[in-house]
Amino acid sequence: MPRYSGLLRTAALLFCAFGSVSLSFAVDTHVWQQDEQSEFNRGTVKHLSVRSDGHISLAPTFRELADAGVPYLWSIVQDSRGTLYCAGGAPTGSTTKIYAVAPGGGSHVVAELTALEVHALAIDKQDRLYAATSPDSKIYRIARGGKPELFFDTKAKYVWAMAFDKSGNLYVATGDEGVIYRVSPDGKGSEFFRTEETNARSMIVDSKGDLIVGTEPGGYITRITPQGKSFVLFQTGKREVTSVAEHDGFLYAAAVGGKPAQPSLAAPARTTPPPAASTSAGSKAVIAVQPGSTPPAGIVSLAAAAAAKPGGSEFYRIEQDGFAEELWSSPTDVVYAIGFDANGKPLLGTGNKGAIYRIDSSVLATQLINAPPTQVTDFLAGKNGVIYAVTGNVGKVYAIGPGYEKTGSLESEVLDVGSFAYWGGAYLRSELDGGTVSIDTRSGNVNRPQKNWSEWQPVELHGLNGTVASAPARFLQYRLTLNASPQSKSPDLSSIEIGYLPKNIAPVVREVEVADANYRASTSAFLERNVEPSGSALTLTLPPIGSRKSASTPARIEGTGGMTLQYAKGYMTARWAASDPNGDSLTYKVEIRGERGSPWLLLKDKVEESYLSFDSSAFPDGKYAIRVTASDAPSNTPSSALNATLESASFIIDNTPPQIISGGTKEEGGATVIVFTAKDASSWIDKTEYSVNGGDWTLLEPVTRVSDGKELHYQLRIPKSASKVQQLIAVRVFDENDNGTVQRFVAPQE
């Protein structure tokens, strides 16, 4: 979404935005500003790193060394001669392969094993390669000729990690009973430690010779001495510790997935535990299975495993005294592997967008690389500052660094102004440090950049700002390009702002309505002098404008939520619905005229509300129309302000009471019969009443019983008084506009 500002950031940007056009500091000047990681990541980032505070720089080089031709690679190791070995596999098939990769690129198959996958690799001091297969995990030692020899059968379902100690003993972390085995150099092994967890998911041998083990489903990080003594260093807030590492005396761990709710003591025990799919990290596999559950026939993909582990990831550092601190978390990324760059900063390999993060501090992290594969599954520190990585979906080997890319680009998301706009200036905030930054833009009038958009056009920068040359349109996109200096230093960019001015569009008046006569918007002064109406309610509640009146319900009591008016004899109220496509403030001019051809007369100008009440008694009776003109002048210069006009349907002004025309009186059957006609020039007769000798008013129906015209005939029969005295009969008639008249008749004495 664009951010709005009344002024552009600097005078330079203002100049770029409008050039020689005279400046108007109107509220219509907008600025599209991007300076946050989430905003930049909505675009397409190539060979750039984006820090959590929005700083952009060139990414480390990311070179593909080998394509294994398999869906997943999960482990990578290196021997003393510099040869890389990697392995993985697929959820289907009967064999899996181990690959040798030269540091400069190129690979060949070292060995082929009868198994679905290889989850973990290790190399001993004699440069002998060991591989663990799954499921029904066995450990093979690969001879120099590539022949695999069975080294140890774990009898477990899965091997998640392997690590050698200084004495040449191989420790093996397994599932689904969470057992760690110790295997001597001659291949004789036994159970070393039982974690009491379903899976010993990750493991290293630290500089003290202790095992550091991460578990699932409790999410424990446990230290185990060579004597088998254990101590839980930290219980994470997640279900599964996918990777553990050590660097410069600190321990690091990554944990993923939400923990299941703990059952109450009264809750019944599960009879069929559900399977718990787990995500893979580094040389770890992909599935963890609860004890007693049915294991899968094969290994599911990393993406499916990650989807089965909602809850995101957390990354921790544990100090030498045991204090654990969370350094980073993500609600969506799943951490598979931990590595370290040449400066000792932690690297996190994640999925399922293939992002590699660098943890710069407890408050800053950099999205360092966006890998083409969807998971980064393991890291290996090479020589001369090179970091190796293997991936899943698809299985490839990459070399990271130590230098930076020579050039990188960011193609932004598309800005939708919502209407046609003129582009102004572009302003960059950057520390060039010897490198360069350039910017191009393109524009269009469809919501996706296509061939019918304008071509990319460079912004000619003067220092760090320049004028956007793209054609005026509704949509805009920019492309940043960062170039390294001759000394291979990267520029650092932290913000981009682009000024634009939406073209002013005329407002729209959608409807004009005139309410029933004799009502107005109230004020306190008016209420003090208001009088009780003779034939109408004190208030009139209007439905939302444009609503149709019910034929069976009086208008004054129909609907709610529109507008409530107060009774005021002779007043009329017009209201209207108007809008402005630019969101400008509007004022209104309201005019009235009689029959067509009459001149328009100004009722009131610069009305800020969307209604107006006026005294109709100032106008002769007749047919009239209201015209409303909306203006966006409050938000625009006089030369650019626009208007829109709409007339109401015709309505009647009628402030003249009806006439009562006597038809005479007669005696008939012991009663006096009064005959009269009610007649109105403009409106229908609405109500007729009579009163005898000042008594209560009684409703009188016309002869036809239906009050449906401007002229109605009545016959009133008054019985003779028992006291035989003269009676005074008053008759009053009201028209639709509450104009009333009274006439008196005398019933003579016998």
| Burial (Cβ within 10 Å: 0-12, 13-18, ≥19) of residue 698 | exposed
pLDDT the model gives residue 526: 43
pLDDT the model gives residue 671: 86
pLDDT, tens digit (0-9, with 9 covering 90-100), for 303-351: 344 444 567 999 999 999 999 999 999 999 999 999 999 999 999 999 9
Tokens of 691: 């009163």
pLDDT, tens digit (0-9, with 9 covering 90-100), for 101-112: 998 888 999 999
Domain ranges of the chain: 3-59+407-502, 61-263+272-404, 508-653, 659-747
Position 591 pLDDT exceeds 60: yes
Tokens of 118: 């290889």
**DSSP-derived 3-state class of residue 509:** strand
What strands lie across the sheet with 324-330, from one edge to the other? Answer: 240-247, 250-256, 313-318, 324-330
| Burial (Cβ within 10 Å: 0-12, 13-18, ≥19) of residue 692 | middle
Return the beta strands (E) in 240-364 as ranges: 240-247, 250-256, 276-277, 287-288, 313-318, 324-330, 334-340, 346-351, 355-359
Across the chain, mean pLDDT equals 85
Return the sign of the alpha-carbon dihedral for residues 698, 704, 705, 706: negative
Q: Are 126 and 334 in contact (CB under 8 A)?
A: no
Position 262 pLDDT exceeds 50: yes
Q: Which of 265-269, 409-413, 670-674 has the highest mean pLDDT?
A: 409-413
CATH superfamily of 61-263+272-404: YVTN repeat-like/Quinoprotein amine dehydrogenase (2.130.10.10)
Which CATH number fits the domain 508-653, given the four candidates 3.40.50.10860, 2.40.30.170, 3.30.70.3270, 2.60.40.10?
A: 2.60.40.10
pLDDT the model gives residue 28: 67
Task: State the fold for domain 659-747.
Answer: Immunoglobulin-like (2.60.40)
pLDDT, tens digit (0-9, with 9 covering 90-100), for 221-245: 999 999 999 999 999 999 999 999 9
Position 548 pLDDT exceeds 60: no
Cβ-based neighbours of 368, under 8 Å, separated by 6 or more: 49, 59, 60, 347, 356, 357, 358
Mean pLDDT, to the nearest integer, of 516-534? 62
Q: Given this chain, do its domains 508-653 and 659-747 carry the same CATH topology?
A: yes
Supply the CATH classification number for the domain 3-59+407-502.
2.60.120
DSSP 153: E
Mean pLDDT, to the nearest integer, of 46-56? 97
The pTM of the full predicted model, rounded to 2 decimals, is 0.73
pLDDT, tens digit (0-9, with 9 covering 90-100), for 293-304: 333 222 333 334
Position 280 pLDDT exceeds 60: no
